Structures are given as structure tokens and as C-alpha cells.
Homo-oligomer: A and B are copies of this chain.
């Protein structure tokens, strides 16, 4: 008697850890913390333009935006980062109004080099301002046609390794080049990644909680098919959006039994969504795990002043309270109310402060978590066959339209 190899089993943590160690020899993102950044720093220190403009969709912009969005309110950068990430003309033209085209560096990012949206926007911008080797650089794979284009036109280009997927590319040149141009300390970013990497692969601090969380999510995937991140900071809005792509596109797959996996990501912002989505978590079906993310200190001492308001005496309880404390109390109160329900699985991540080191730790640990969950459920975490159907239909439509015109 022989058991089918095709019965999906949840393997041991040790097996998964060994798989990940093997995987990191092939999958490019794992080694990004250890890359040489001297070329990027050399390039970025000479940028004269005030506006840094990323032209790139999906994985070519979400991670970069997440880091910039986290840092921009508290770091006074003297350059501005903008993103052309959609084909919506209303959005494109509104964004053009916000920048000075003559004082912009355009960073065109496409892994394949032939992303329809990216090249369409590139062409459109090209008709508004001449894009040449003085104001435009390219990030793409070594062999792509876009890289050939850059070479022919003497444009500066950076190569994205083939074995790094878009949604795992934030710590590659895709994220580091635009972030360095705007003034983000990219070496500190990588230091944060290294901290998590070393800790995980030495099976220290981050190892056990990460494996435990991944295993729980996998073992209970039919009961809790929705994974909510509840961030108590407006600066984590971009992170939430990046997480949604990372989680949804990596784990929404068919496994070795051809069974549809579904880990549906949701991103919430604490003080806002506790006035909306919280009701659903609290009284709705128990189909969600919740990860709260708190920021310990914001280097911001904005305090609610002692103002006497007629009739509103009951709200004197907030007088002399800092907003940093108020938002922390709000987070703690929400967490406690969820805890008291006893049947909602949750965890809490606390970020020390709003800086490069902390956001990199958070994002790199989420990349690892995604890889571990993907390994547990025996899927290919790094492809996206489900979006190819729509792309093919679009290409056929566009080609038919050309024939119609002829």
C-alpha cells in the first residue's frame, strides 16, 4: 500500500524552515538586505530636480509609496515623490498639475519592460516634456526591451534581477532608487531588513512568533479566511495597501491538490475605521484574524489644551493629554474589547518610532511571513497566473482596434 504523494499535509515547522533556507538560494528578495548600494547612492546624491516621479504600476510603486508615505509627514524632505500608477486620465492630469514637469526626474519602472500601462503613460509624458538622459532613468530586467531603449539613448538604468518579483521588489533598485533620490536613508532600511533576516535564519527573536503565526493562519484557513491589519497610524496607509497586494497576489492560488486557497487581506486605519469596520469584527461572523499595529512614539508632542467649553465639561478628561497618548489609549481600548470577546484571534505589533529602520523591519518580516505561509500551503508564492487571462484579452482587444483602423 502506498499513499498518494498528492494529499496535502501541513508539514512540520522544521521542514518549512529547511524549505525556506533552500528557497532563499533561488528567490531573489531574500538576499536584498546584503546588496551593495554604492551605485544608487552615487547616482542619487547628484539629483538636481525637485520632483521625483515614479512611472510604474502595482509592485513597481506600492512598496516605494508605503515607505515614503510612512516617513514623509515627519521627515522634512526637500524633494517630493509622486507616482503615476494608473491609466485613469483624470488622475494622470491631476497629478501633472501637482508637479513641475521641467523640474522632475522621471523613473520609469517595468520589470518586463513592456507593461502596457507604464509605456502608455511614458509616451504621454514624453509628449508633454522631452524625456531624455537628463531627466529620465529606467529600471527593468537586464534583457528587456526597455533596458535596450535606455542603452540606445544613453539613459542611466538600473537592473532588476529576474528572480525578484514585483511585489517583493521594494528593497531592490525598484524601491531604493526613488527613495534615495528623495532623501531616505536606504542603508538604514537595509539594516532593518538584516535585523529581521538574521534573527529569523538564526532562529532567534523573530523566528518563533513568525512560524507560530503562519501555522495558525494555515491550520485555521477555512475558519478565518480574512486577515485584517488594523494600523493605529495614518502613516501606515501605504503599508496597508502594499500588504494587500503582497498577501492577496502571493497566496490567492491553487495548491498541489488544485484546491483554491484564500487568505483575503484587509487594511484598516485605527482611529478612523474603529468608527466603521470594527462593528463587523466585533459582532460579525468569526471569519477574521486581526493584527493590530501600534506606533509607540511619534516625536510629536501635540497636546489637547485645557479649553473650557460650556456644557461640554464631560470632555475635560482629554485636557492636557497628548494626541500620541490618546491614540494609544484608543488602540488599547479597541484591543481590550476584542480580547474580551475571547474568540477573535489577534496579535499586536508595536513599532518603536516612525523611521527607516522600523518600517523596513515591518515590511521585511511581512515578506518572510508570506513566504512561510506560501510554503506551508504548498503553492508558488511568487507567480500570478490568475491575472494573465485579463492581460491577454486586453492585448487582443488593442490589436483588433489597430486592424479596425487600418
* Chain A residues proximal to chain B, CB less than 8 Å: 57-59, 62, 73-74, 85-94, 113-114, 116-117, 119-120, 122-124, 126-127, 145-146, 148-149, 152-153, 166-167, 225-226, 232-235, 244-245, 248-249, 251-254, 260-264, 266, 269-288, 298, 300, 302-305, 307, 309-312, 314-324, 326-327, 329-330, 332-334, 336-337, 340, 354, 384-387, 389-391, 393-395, 397-399, 401-402, 405
A124 touches B305 (CB 8 A): yes
B282 touches A398 (CB 8 A): no
The residue among A113, A123, A271 with the most chain B CB atoms within 10 A of its own CB is A123
B302 touches A92 (CB 8 A): yes
- Considering the chains assembled together, what is the distance between the CA atoms of A266 and B277 in angstroms? 11
A284 touches B252 (CB 8 A): yes
CB distance from A227 to the nearest CB of B (A): 11
Which one of B145, B281, B318, B340 contacts A252 once the chains associate, using CB atoms below 8 Å? B281
CB distance from A341 to the nearest CB of B (A): 8
In the assembled complex, which residues on chain B have CB atoms less than 8 Å from the CB atom of A322?
A: 89
CB distance from A169 to the nearest CB of B (A): 13
Which one of B116, B149, B251, B390 contacts A280 once the chains associate, using CB atoms below 8 Å? B251
Copies of this chain, whole number:
2
- Considering the chains assembled together, what is the distance between the CA atoms of A245 and B113 in angstroms? 39
Which one of B85, B248, B399 contacts A279 once the chains associate, using CB atoms below 8 Å? B248
A-B contact pairs, 8 of them (CB 8 A): A114-B315, A119-B315, A126-B305, A252-B280, A252-B281, A275-B387, A317-B402, A337-B393
In the assembled complex, which residues on chain B have CB atoms less than 8 Å from the CB atom of A113?
A: 312
- Considering the chains assembled together, what is the distance between the CA atoms of A27 and B120 in angstroms? 49
Chain B residue nearest to A246 (CB atoms) is B276
B327 touches A283 (CB 8 A): no
Which one of B276, B281, B398 contacts A318 once the chains associate, using CB atoms below 8 Å? B398
- Considering the chains assembled together, what is the distance between the CA atoms of A105 and B251 in angstroms? 47
Given contacts A318-B120, A329-B398, contact A266 B264 (CB under 8 A): yes
In the assembled complex, which residues on chain B have CB atoms less than 8 Å from the CB atom of A340?
A: 389
A89 touches B394 (CB 8 A): no
Which one of B127, B234, B330 contacts A305 once the chains associate, using CB atoms below 8 Å? B127
Given contacts A73-B90, A272-B85, contact A280 B264 (CB under 8 A): yes
Chain B residue nearest to A83 (CB atoms) is B272
A225 touches B287 (CB 8 A): yes
Given contacts A92-B302, A249-B276, contact A127 B307 (CB under 8 A): yes
Which one of B253, B254, B307 contacts A123 once the chains associate, using CB atoms below 8 Å? B307
B311 touches A119 (CB 8 A): no
A398 touches B321 (CB 8 A): yes
Q: Can you add 8 more A-B contacts, CB < 8 Å, to A86-B234, A124-B303, A252-B280? A: A73-B94, A89-B322, A114-B314, A146-B311, A252-B277, A252-B279, A253-B279, A254-B283
B275 touches A386 (CB 8 A): no
Given contacts A120-B326, A127-B307, A389-B337, contact A312 B146 (CB under 8 A): yes
In the assembled complex, which residues on chain B have CB atoms less than 8 Å from the CB atom of A117?
A: 271, 330
In the assembled complex, which residues on chain B have CB atoms less than 8 Å from the CB atom of A62?
A: 276
Chain B residue nearest to A300 (CB atoms) is B89
In the assembled complex, which residues on chain B have CB atoms less than 8 Å from the CB atom of A278?
A: 249, 386-387, 390
B57 touches A271 (CB 8 A): yes
In the assembled complex, which residues on chain B have CB atoms less than 8 Å from the CB atom of A279?
A: 248-249, 252-253, 384-387
- Considering the chains assembled together, what is the distance between the CA atoms of A86 and B326 in angstroms? 11
